[in-house]
Amino acid sequence: MKFLQQAYKGNNKWWAYLITIAIVFFPFLMNVIIYLLFPELLDVMYQEMEQKEPSNLDFLTNLLPFLFLLILLFLFVTKLHKRKIITIITSRKTVDWNRFFYAFFIWFIIGVLLIVVDYYNSPEDYVWNFKPIQFFVLLLISIVFLPIQTSLEELLFRGYLMQAFGVWFKKSFVALILTAVIFGLLHGLNPEVEKLGWIVMIYYIGTGLVLGIFTLMDEGTELALGFHAANNIVAAVLVSSNWAVFQTDALLIDVSEPSLDFLMFLPVFVLYPLVLFIFSKKYGWTNWNEKLFGTVKEPVVLKDDELIV
């Protein structure tokens, strides 16, 4: 529970959460509202994506707002909540970068293996697309800016919001479910959903769920940060398609028709449990019931910033 209890180190007034959520969530909410009110705009956007050639400049332009939003989140945490930034990252005294890179490489390797296997099973579904200059620019953009994008999402959902829900509802399981569902629904505008239907929400909500479990069991977001960064870098750099959320000059272009099959849900029902098992053995996770279903108690905050219940 130590990670959720980090919220008690600062100001938990309702207005501080309201201001932060209203401003940091504003771009996401505006997109949802606009496309709910004017669904024809969503159809136009999808058509333009399918017809437009990938551009590194467009890709970078789409990622830059996440840097601005991450800075805003940090400012609100420090100025409104009067907390240290590290409190939405981890319950440890310093960020454990070994955990970040361990999760990154585990999921990166699995992602590469999946692509290799699928390529050799169905080579007709892919077109080799190696363009040296475009590819290395894409690689640079992805390494620098995609971790910023994924960090904003992780620190907002698995950090700030999960801690907020933990303080409000006093139950870690409620915080886990709410953040997973909101995370999934905010991906509802992705073109994959338009192509395959809302059943794809199983993948997005399932991903939010496993990232939340990483965070609760490990008492910090480092594993979720590394995992999410690896996932998006693989998606941007190695394989792209004209109907995916990332439109890039990746190494391979998937030219197959999108369809619901076992591979779509393989991560949620097979690979995520496997990664959970690997992490649990690596870091010796115990007290699963307490951390996932326990009560978030208000601790006593000591002078050295340590928490005790």
Could you give the C-alpha distances from 41 to 59, 83, 90, 144, 191, in angstroms and in order? 20, 40, 40, 31, 13
pLDDT at 3: 95
Q: State the pLDDT confidence band at 303, using cuts at 50, 70 and 90.
A: low
Q: State the pLDDT confidence band at 50, using cuts at 50, 70 and 90.
A: low
Tens of pLDDT, residue by residue over 243-292, are: 777 789 999 999 887 777 667 788 999 999 999 999 999 999 999 999 99
Name the nearest CA neighbour of 4 among 259, 175, 227: 175
Q: State the pLDDT confidence band at 172, using cuts at 50, 70 and 90.
A: very high
Which of 56-60, 115-119, 211-215, 303-307 comes out lowest in average pLDDT? 303-307
Between CA 309 and CA 304 the distance in angstroms is 15
- The average pLDDT across 207-216 equals 98
State if pTM tops 0.75.
Answer: yes
pLDDT at 51: 63
- The average pLDDT across 186-195 equals 76
3-state secondary structure 153-197: HHHHHHHHHHHHHHHHHCEHHHHHHHHHHHHHHCCCCCHHHHHHC
Asked whether residue 299 carries a pLDDT value surpassing 90, the answer given is no
Asked whether residue 224 carries a pLDDT value surpassing 90, the answer given is yes
Q: State the pLDDT confidence band at 308, using cuts at 50, 70 and 90.
A: low
pLDDT > 70 in the chain, percent: 91
pLDDT at 302: 60
Name the nearest CA neighbour of 11 among 90, 74, 80, 86: 80
